[in-house]
Amino acid sequence: MSTLAAVSVDPNALHFVGMQPEPSALEYNVSSDSVLAAVTDGYDVLALPITNPSFRARVTSTSQPARSSVIEPPSLSEVSIQPNSPYTPHVFGLVSKWIELDSNDVRVASLSAQVLQHELAYAAFCGIGYVVVPGPKRRNNVSLYAEAINSALAAAPFTKIILHLAMAEYVDSATISDTPSAVSQISIWDIWNTIRTICDYPSRLSVGLQIPPQLPSQVVLSRWFAEPVSILFLSGKVFLQNSKGYPVLSKAHQYFMFKFLKLHPYTILQDIRESARARTNRQFVSKEDETAYLIYLRHLHKNLPPPTPMEEFGKGYEDFLQKPLQPLSDNLESKTYEVFEKDPVKYEQYEKAIFQALTKRQEQGLVIIAVVGAGRGPLVARALKAAEAAKTSVFVFAVEKNPSAYIYLLQRKAQEWGDNVEVVCSDMRTWRLQQGVDIIVSELLGSFGDNELSPECLDGVQEVLKPSGIMIPQSYSAHFIPALSPKIYSAIKSQNKEEAANTPYVALLQAVDLLATNIHQAWEFTHPSPLAKSKRESTYDGLSLELALQQTSVTSNTPAIINEHNTRHSKGRFLCENRAVMHGFAGYFESVLYGDVEISIRPDTLGKKSKDMVSWFPIWFPLSEPLYVPDESEIEISVWRKTDNRRVWYEWLVETFVTIPGSSTLDRRESSSSRTSTAATNSRVRLSCSKLHNANGKYSSMNL
């Protein structure tokens, strides 16, 4: 779906609360001609009401309490769209705005639901694929509204239903005390969330957002950005006038459009004749006066800011879920290596790190470097380059377990590197050497740092390191933050298997709203590892005699865990200021390669540490069920890194809490009888907890 501009004949911008006045008359003579005219004018699509005021009149007369509460479908004289029009693929249908699916009057609600179903049925018959339904009119009957939408989705099984919603409620601060219910800047998002939760995240249900003259706060904008917004409603009244009298958008609205156009919504222009009249001060406006809005939108669309390197690199992969690579157990293809070698930033940082390591050494003489997991050799080349710059003589071992990559390396040695490089085909964990190595360089990091088993691999190879030796990277850490992403949740849900929600994914996160201001550092690994050394033999050179004896004496099916020192547990606490629903959490890593040379994919530090590095997308840990979190609640995420000698895996769970100000429950009860102690104690109340995901590594793990 490309971004299109469309025109709505609907003369009024829609507001959220309260009934709309009936359009006095339709501005256009609704016919095939008007569609044709609109398309000729450069619009892609025309948005038209499905029925006309005659239908409304009939329904209204039925709504008097009478014997029959059954509405018959609209007749030919009651529809706005001709049933035999060839242009209906270019039409969006607008469901009557006067219906009240959430009426307190059972009869009105029932008639409204029938009108909705009739209009949807007629639109579907005409071949109209997108139908806009007015949003709910009441805060307290959302369940009623949602049930009607759910029925409509089932009755029109191929129609995309778009709920027309305001971005936010405009709360008059003077009236706050009159509206004790939960009015907040994202209360309309809250209502949308309730509707789609009740409807169980249907793929054909999306949002049509009315763009207001005054844009709401960043909190509201980034929330909607994570939702399925398929239409932007843009009134001519929102436009400003430039010095030449043409309609233009404010800077804020331009930025808004730049951001949201990434989601590829349709834009529906409203009130353009009326706005053109106001702009030109003429009663009769020319076609040019009207199409000026469309032309501006086209212009805006052509002049989008250029994509960042990550946007360029990740094009088409936005929010696409990939299983993390398992380079330890799977051999990569040459193409995969090639993709990663293209990173302009990562290898620069490695070269800098090797250079610093070489120049800061006290010892003189030949420096032995081992590039472990050498792949096709990019780090070998960088090591040689760094040595040249540092004016140091080096000998480089290129250790690679993938036999095909080994051949590739042999060729590079023959053609480029010569005698200063030795290529070794070996698993780094079992590679042994008579002499000691000064610097071990590896690039085994995954999106969460240790998730491609870097700690286990480096534990094995560090035996070849001299006591004074250096490992690059020196350390790396895992980080996470809770997030909302209905898009990712739906993708996982649609797989319809337990495994899907118990697997971490690598994904270029786009339609994701982070739910806290702090990112939590979970844990760190440093190399060389003091704990690993003492256990090297027993871990990787087969079982020692003692261990073998010990294991035979074990009566359980859980032999002693040898990699215990690489297990981790971390609990992160996050304050979630604005109500939201949590679908999972995003994970990142940071790494100190050497000295002050770092790389990072944490959104708040990547710009400073390794701007425009593209090798890693974030990791996503899903939740099998969304957790709703009210305003000012606390989210606690617990993550474990576990192992059983054969595999390594993550387990995770989430708990949520709110702090009720005032008094504790017991306190409150007591004080209702005697109000002596008024010392307010806050009480922290558990709201929900998830199950333990991927318990015992049942669904996903990395093989050792």
Q: Which of residues 658-677 bind a copy of itself (CB under 8 A)?
A: 658, 660-662, 664-668, 670, 677
Residues 51-70 that bind a copy of itself (CB under 8 A): 67, 69-70
Task: Find the shortest distance in angstroms from Cβ 655 to a copy of itself.
Answer: 6
Task: Find the shortest distance in angstroms from Cβ 35 to a copy of itself.
Answer: 20
C-beta of residue 204 within 8 angstroms of C-beta of residue 153: yes
Q: Which residues contact 290 (CB under 8 A, 6 or more apart)?
A: 41, 272, 273, 276
Binding mask 296-315 for a copy of itself (x = CB under 8 A): --------------------
Q: Which residues contact 693 (CB under 8 A, 6 or more apart)?
A: 501, 502, 621, 622, 623, 624, 651, 652, 653
In the bound state with a copy of itself, the residue whose beta carbon lies nearer, of 24 and 557, is 557
Q: Which residues contact 67 (CB under 8 A, 6 or more apart)?
A: none
Q: Site for a copy of itself (CB under 8 A): which residue of 40, 61, 77, 557?
A: 557
Nearest to 46 by CA among 268, 237, 233, 230: 268
Judged by phi (left if over 0) then psi (alpha if -120 to 50, else beta), residue 377 lies in left
Please name the residue that has the structure tokens 């710009």. 607
| Whole-angstrom distance, CA of residue 316 vs CA of residue 439 | 39
| Whole-angstrom distance, CA of residue 349 vs CA of residue 337 | 18
Residues 578-597 that bind a copy of itself (CB under 8 A): 579
CA angle 132, 135, 141 (to 5 degrees): 140
Q: Site for a copy of itself (CB under 8 A): which residue of 564, 575, 596, 703?
A: 564
| Whole-angstrom distance, CA of residue 140 vs CA of residue 181 | 9
Query: How many Cβ atoms sit within 10 Å of the Cβ of residue 74?
Result: 23
Q: Site for a copy of itself (CB under 8 A): which residue of 40, 556, 673, 678?
A: 556
In the bound state with a copy of itself, the residue whose beta carbon lies nearer, of 140 and 331, is 140
Query: How many Cβ atoms sit within 10 Å of the Cβ of residue 372?
Result: 29
Instruction: Tell me which stretch binds a copy of itself (CB under 8 A): 39-47, 218-226, 395-403, 692-700.
Output: 692-700
The amino acid occupying position 283 is Q
Query: How many Cβ atoms sit within 10 Å of the Cβ of residue 543?
Result: 15
In the bound state with a copy of itself, the residue whose beta carbon lies nearer, of 193 and 442, is 193
| Whole-angstrom distance, CA of residue 75 vs CA of residue 56 | 12
Task: Find the shortest distance in angstroms from Cβ 296 to a copy of itself.
Answer: 35
| Whole-angstrom distance, CA of residue 58 vs CA of residue 73 | 11
Cα radius of gyration rounded to whole Å, the chain: 31
Query: 473 preceded by cis ω (within 30°)?
Result: yes
DSSP letters, 13-58, are: ---SSSPPPPPSS-SS--SHHHHHHHHHTT-SEEEEESB-HHHHHH
Task: Find the shortest distance in angstroms from Cβ 694 to a copy of itself.
Answer: 11
Q: Site for a copy of itself (CB under 8 A): which residue of 264, 323, 342, 569?
A: 569
Task: Find the shortest distance in angstroms from Cβ 193 to a copy of itself.
Answer: 9
**Secondary structure of residue 259 in the 3-state scheme:** helix
Q: How far is CA 305 from the centre of its chain?
A: 21
In the bound state with a copy of itself, the residue whose beta carbon lies nearer, of 259 and 571, is 571
In the bound state with a copy of itself, the residue whose beta carbon lies nearer, of 260 and 480, is 480
632 binds a copy of itself (CB under 8 A): yes
Q: Site for a copy of itself (CB under 8 A): which residue of 63, 605, 631, 647?
A: 631
Task: Find the shortest distance in angstroms from Cβ 575 to a copy of itself.
Answer: 14
In the bound state with a copy of itself, the residue whose beta carbon lies nearer, of 17 and 666, is 666
Active-site residue, selected from the candidate residues 78, 119, 400, 443: 443
Residues 131-190 that bind a copy of itself (CB under 8 A): 143-144, 146-147, 150-151, 154-155, 171, 173, 176-177, 179-185, 190
Q: Establish whether 169 is a catalytic residue.
A: no
Task: Find the shortest distance in angstroms from Cβ 54 to a copy of itself.
Answer: 16
Task: Find the shortest distance in angstroms from Cβ 411 to a copy of itself.
Answer: 44
DSSP letters, 583-607, are: EEEEEEEEEEEETTEEEE--TTTHH
Applying CB under 8 A, the site for a copy of itself has a residue count of 96
Task: Find the shortest distance in angstroms from Cβ 175 to a copy of itself.
Answer: 11
Hey, which residues does 660 pair with through a beta bridge?
A: 683
Q: Site for a copy of itself (CB under 8 A): which residue of 81, 94, 132, 199?
A: 199
Active-site residue, selected from the candidate residues 119, 452, 456, 463: 452
Residues 409-468 that bind a copy of itself (CB under 8 A): none
Binding mask 214-233 for a copy of itself (x = CB under 8 A): --------------------
The amino acid occupying position 200 is D
**Backbone angles phi and psi of 396, in degrees to 5:** -115, 125
Q: Site for a copy of itself (CB under 8 A): which residue of 194, 250, 336, 426?
A: 194
Hey, which residues does 247 pair with through a beta bridge?
A: 241
Residues 523-552 that bind a copy of itself (CB under 8 A): 531, 534, 550
Nearest to 567 by CA among 648, 682, 475: 648
Q: Site for a copy of itself (CB under 8 A): which residue of 636, 645, 647, 699?
A: 636
Q: Site for a copy of itself (CB under 8 A): which residue of 4, 37, 121, 410?
A: 121
In the bound state with a copy of itself, the residue whose beta carbon lies nearer, of 39 and 124, is 124
Residues 81-120 that bind a copy of itself (CB under 8 A): 106, 109-110, 117-118, 120
| Whole-angstrom distance, CA of residue 502 vs CA of residue 584 | 11
Task: Find the shortest distance in angstroms from Cβ 325 to a copy of itself.
Answer: 27
Q: Establish whether 443 is a catalytic residue.
A: yes
| Whole-angstrom distance, CA of residue 80 vs CA of residue 37 | 16
Task: Find the shortest distance in angstroms from Cβ 204 to a copy of itself.
Answer: 14
Residues annotated as part of the active site: 443, 452
